[in-house]
Amino acid sequence: MRLERLTEKDEQHWRAELAKVNWTFGALTLTDAQGRMHFGYYLQPLHLNADDREDLPRKLLHVLARQKPPLDFLELSGAGIRIPHAFPKGFSLEKVLRITLQEIKRIPLREPTLE
């Protein structure tokens, strides 16, 4: 496995791209007296409908885990998804985010979000 981390500019780019489809994206980083430790990234839907807010992460993980090759290393975490900072061979963080965004756009919502 290989560890990856986005630059600040790339992180802003993905935050903006995912905001267009009403998902929030951010880094999971802990800071203490010894320094900073990076644990990956998170995705969380920002939909007004409570059913979509709760169901979308599960639906997305189900679709991604059934792809060829599967993205079965993503984790359901509370009301969102954790993207680890280490991937199996053949994957990169950019590739995982691109595929995930593509699948988010395909998942139907119960009710359209307000714009």
DSSP-assigned letters across all residues of 25-81 = EEEEEEEETTEEEEEEEEEEE--SSHHHHHHHHHHHHHHHHTSSS--TT-EEETTEE
User: For residue 49, what pLDDT is reported?
Assistant: 74
User: For residue 2, what pLDDT is reported?
Assistant: 62
Residues of the chain whose pLDDT is less than 70? 1-2, 48, 111-115
User: For residue 17, what pLDDT is reported?
Assistant: 96
User: For residue 110, what pLDDT is reported?
Assistant: 74
Interacting residues of 45 by C-beta distance below 8 A, sequence separation 6+: 22, 23, 24, 52, 53, 56, 57, 79, 80
The closest of 78, 115, 84 to 100, measured between CA atoms, is 84
User: For residue 75, what pLDDT is reported?
Assistant: 92
In this prediction the pTM is 0.84
User: For residue 113, what pLDDT is reported?
Assistant: 52
User: For residue 32, what pLDDT is reported?
Assistant: 84
Distance of CA 47 to the CA centre of its chain: 15
